[in-house]
C-alpha cells in the first residue's frame, strides 16, 4: 500500500478516535455532574477498575502477541488459530468472572482498604455487577487485534463511540432515577454493544467462528511463550493503579475520583495521538520485524518518535498552563464543586508531566513485541513499578493525591529513558541528529506557546467569574487555537522537516485531484 494511503488512513483513524474520546469526555463530565467527586463516585471507579485490573492485563497481552503470531501463519492455519484462541480466552475469562464474583468482598477489601463501611458495601455490590464485563473485554481485545491484522483500523478505533454514547444518553434520561447502580448496569450493556458493533466488519473480512480447543496448537504455544512476559509487564501497570487506589482510598473523600477524572483528561492526547499512530504502525512493524528488516523498523520508529515529540511536548506544556480552566470547563457543574476542580486540576497538572514518557514507552514496547521479544519490556516494567511504588509512599504524605500523580509521571519518564539503550543496540540509533533537532524545535516552540497561554490566562477574568459556559468554552477553544497556530508557524519558521513533508503531501494531493477533475471535464 502506498504512503498516501497510510497517511489518509492515519488521519481518518485519528478523526474517529477524536470523536470517540470527545464522547468519552462527555461521559466523564456527565458522571461528574451527577455524582461529583463523592463516596458514590469513588465506589463506582473502584468497581469500574477491578475488571480492568483482573483481565485487561491478559487482554492487553493477547492483543499484543496476537498480531505478530497471526501475521506469520500460513493462510490455511490462520482461521483455526483464531477460533482456537477465541475459545481458550472465552472459557478462561468465564472462569475468571465466576471466581472473581465469589471473592469480590475480599478483592474490594484489598483494593480500597480505606473505605468506610457504607462505601465498602456499595463498592462490593457495584463490583459484582462490573465483573460481568470481563468476558466481553476479552472478546474486544481479540476482535480488535484481528481487524488490525487485516489493516481494518476504522472500526476498532470507533468502538468507543457506541459505548460512550449509550452511557451519556442513559445519564441524561435516567441518571436521576436509578442512581449509580443503574449506571453500572448501563456500562455492562455498553460493553456488550462494543462487541456486537464489530461483528459486521469481522464477517466482512471472512471470519466464521467454529469451536476449537487445542492447547497444543503451534500458534497457541507461541502465544503462551510470549504472553507470560507481556502479562507481567502489563500487570506492572495494573499494580501501579492498584497501589494508587489503595493509598487514595485512605485520603480525603473524592481523591480516587479526582485521580480518575484527571487521568481521563490526560489520556485524551494518548488516545487520539499515540493509540491512533501505533494501531496503524504496529502491523507494519510486525511485518518488517518478521522479515528482519531492521532498517525499515528503525525508519518507522524514528518517524513515530518525531511525531510524538511534535504533538506531545506542546500538549504537555499547554496542559500544565491550562489545567485549571480545562478541568473547570469540563466538570464544574451539578455535584462537581469548586473544591473538586482544585483537586482534579492539581492531579491533571502532575499527570501531564508524564505524557511524553508514556507515549515513547508505549512505542518502544511495541517495537520489541513486533520482534516477539518480551524480556526487556518486562524487566523495564518491573523497574518502573518499583520506582512508582517507592515514590507513591514518599510523595503521598506531603502532596496527597497529587503525589500519586507525580509518582506515576516520574516512573513513566524514567522507564522510557531506560528502554532506549537496549532498543538502540537492536535496531540501530533512534535518536540521531534529525530526531534531536525535532525535539529541540518542539521544546522551544512549546515553551514560547506556553508563555503565550500563561500570559493570556493570567490576564483574563473569564475563569474567575461566573461567566456563561458557552463564553468560557469559546474563550478556551480560541486560546488553544491561537496557541496551536503560533506553535505550528514557529515550526515552519524553524523548517521542521516532518511538517514540511506533510504540507508537500497535501499540496501534491490537491494537484492530483485537480488534474483528475480536469481530465474528467
Measured CA to CA, the distance from residue 518 to residue 162 in angstroms comes to: 41
Instruction: Assess whether 321 and 234 both reside in one domain.
Output: no
Domain-located, residue 12:
no
Measured CA to CA, the distance from residue 501 to residue 495 in angstroms comes to: 10
What contacts 24+ positions apart, CB below 8 Å, involve 198-206?
A: 198/140, 198/143, 198/144, 198/147, 198/155, 198/156, 198/159, 201/147, 201/152, 201/155, 202/143, 202/146, 202/147, 205/146, 205/147, 205/150, 205/152
To 10 degrees, what angle do helices 469-493 and 497-520 make? 100
Domain-located, residue 214:
yes
- pTM higher than 0.85: no
Look at residues 185, 219, 240 and tell me which one is the last residue of a structural domain. 240
Instruction: Assess whether 258 and 394 both reside in one domain.
Output: yes
Domain-located, residue 517:
no
Tens of pLDDT along the chain (521 residues)? 555 555 666 667 767 877 887 888 788 878 888 887 777 888 888 888 777 666 666 666 666 677 767 777 777 788 888 888 888 888 888 898 899 899 989 888 877 777 888 888 998 999 999 998 888 888 888 888 888 777 777 788 788 888 999 989 988 888 778 888 899 999 999 999 988 998 888 888 888 888 888 888 887 887 777 666 666 666 666 677 777 777 887 888 778 888 888 887 887 767 667 776 776 677 777 778 777 778 888 888 888 899 889 989 999 999 999 988 888 888 887 778 888 888 999 999 999 999 999 889 888 888 887 887 778 888 888 888 889 999 999 999 889 889 999 999 999 899 999 999 888 988 889 898 988 999 999 999 999 999 999 888 877 666 555 667 777 888 888 888 999 899 989 988 888 777 766 666 666 666 666 665 556 55
Contact 260, 103 (CB under 8 A): no
Measured CA to CA, the distance from residue 14 to residue 99 in angstroms comes to: 38
To 10 degrees, what angle do helices 276-290 and 134-149 make? 60
Domain-located, residue 349:
yes
Least Cα distance to 304 among 374, 367, 373 occurs for: 367
Least Cα distance to 267 among 454, 61, 67, 28 occurs for: 28
Look at residues 240, 262, 291 and tell me which one is the last residue of a structural domain. 240
The whole domain housing 335 covers 251-512
Instruction: Assess whether 219 and 256 both reside in one domain.
Output: no
Amino acid at each position: 500500500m502506498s504512503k498516501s494511503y497510510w497517511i489518509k488512513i492515519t488521519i481518518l483513524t485519528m478523526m474517529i478516535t477524536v470523536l470517540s474520546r470527545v464522547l468519552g469526555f462527555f461521559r466523564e463530565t456527565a458522571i461528574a455532574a451527577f455524582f461529583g467527586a463523592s463516596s458514590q463516585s469513588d465506589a463506582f471507579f473502584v468497581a469500574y477498575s477491578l475488571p480492568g485490573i483482573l483481565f485487561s492485563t491478559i487482554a492487553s497481552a493477547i492483543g499484543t502477541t496476537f498480531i505478530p503470531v497471526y501475521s506469520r501463519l500460513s493462510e490455511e492455519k490462520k482461521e483455526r488459530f483464531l477460533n482456537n484462541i477465541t475459545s481458550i480466552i472465552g472459557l478462561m475469562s468465564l472462569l475468571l468472572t465466576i471466581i472473581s464474583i465469589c471473592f469480590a468482598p475480599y478483592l474490594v477489601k484489598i483494593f480500597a482498604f480505606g473505605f468506610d463501611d457504607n462505601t465498602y458495601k456499595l463498592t462490593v455490590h457495584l463490583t459484582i455487577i462490573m465483573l460481568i464485563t470481563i468476558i466481553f473485554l476479552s472478546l474486544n481485545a481479540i476482535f480488535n487485534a484481528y481487524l488490525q491484522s487485516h489493516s481494518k483500523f476504522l472500526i476498532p478505533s470507533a468502538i468507543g463511540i457506541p459505548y460512550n454514547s449509550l452511557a451519556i444518553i442513559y445519564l441524561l434520561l435516567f441518571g436521576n432515577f436509578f442512581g449509580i447502580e443503574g449506571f453500572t448496569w448501563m456500562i455492562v450493556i455498553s460493553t456488550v454493544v462494543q462487541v456486537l458493533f464489530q461483528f459486521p466488519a469481522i464477517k466482512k473480512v471472512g471470519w466464521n467462528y467454529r469451536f476449537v480447543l487445542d492447547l497444543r496448537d503451534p500458534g497457541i504455544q507461541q502465544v503462551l511463550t510470549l504472553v507470560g512476559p507481556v502479562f507481567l509487564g502489563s500487570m506492572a501497570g495494573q499494580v501501579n493503579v492498584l497501589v494508587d487506589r489503595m493509598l487514595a482510598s485512605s485520603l480525603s473523600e473524592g481523591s480516587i475520583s479526582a485521580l480518575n477524572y484527571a487521568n481521563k483528561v490526560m489520556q485524551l492526547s494518548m488516545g487520539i495521538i499515540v493509540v491512533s499512530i501505533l494501531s496503524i504502525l504496529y502491523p507494519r512493524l510486525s511485518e518488517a520485524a518478521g522479515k528482519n528488516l531492521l532498517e525499515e523498523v528503525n525508519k518507522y520508529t524514528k518517524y513515530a518518535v518525531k511525531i510524538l515529540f511534535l504533538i506531545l511536548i506542546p500538549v504537555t506544556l499547554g496542559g500544565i498552563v491550562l489545567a485549571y480552566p480545562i478541568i473547570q470547563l469540563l466538570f464544574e457543574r451539578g455535584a462537581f464543586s469548586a473544591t473538586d476542580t482544585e483537586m482534579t486540576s492539581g492531579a491533571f497538572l502532575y499527570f501531564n508531566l508524564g505524557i511524553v514518557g508514556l507515549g515513547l514507552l508505549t512505542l518502544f514496547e511495541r517495537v520489541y513485541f513486533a520482534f516477539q521479544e518480551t524480556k526487556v519490556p518486562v524487566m523495564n516494567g518491573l523497574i518502573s513499578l518499583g520506582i512508582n511504588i517507592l515514590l507513591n509512599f514518599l510523595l503521598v504524605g506531603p502532596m496527597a493525591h497529587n503525589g500519586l500523580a507525580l509518582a506515576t509521571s516520574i516512573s513513566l519518564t524514567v522507564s522510557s529513558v531506560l528502554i532506549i539503550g537496549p532498543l538502540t543496540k537492536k535496531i540501530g540509533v533512534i535518536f540521531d541528529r534529525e530526531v534531536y533537532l525535532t525535539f529541540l524545535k518542539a521544546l522551544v516552540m512549546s515553551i514560547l506557546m506556553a508563555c503565550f497561554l500563561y500570559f493570556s490566562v493570567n490576564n483574563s477574568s473569564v475563569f474567575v467569574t461566573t461567566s456563561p459556559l458557552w463564553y468560557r468554552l469559546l474563550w478556551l477553544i480560541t486560546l488553544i487555537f491561537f496557541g496551536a497556530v503560533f506553535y505550528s508557524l514557529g515550526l515552519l519558521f524553524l523548517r521542521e522537516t516532518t511538517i514540511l513533508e506533510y504540507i508537500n503531501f497535501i499540496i501534491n494531493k490537491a494537484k492530483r485531484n485537480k488534474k483528475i477533475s480536469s481530465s474528467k471535464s
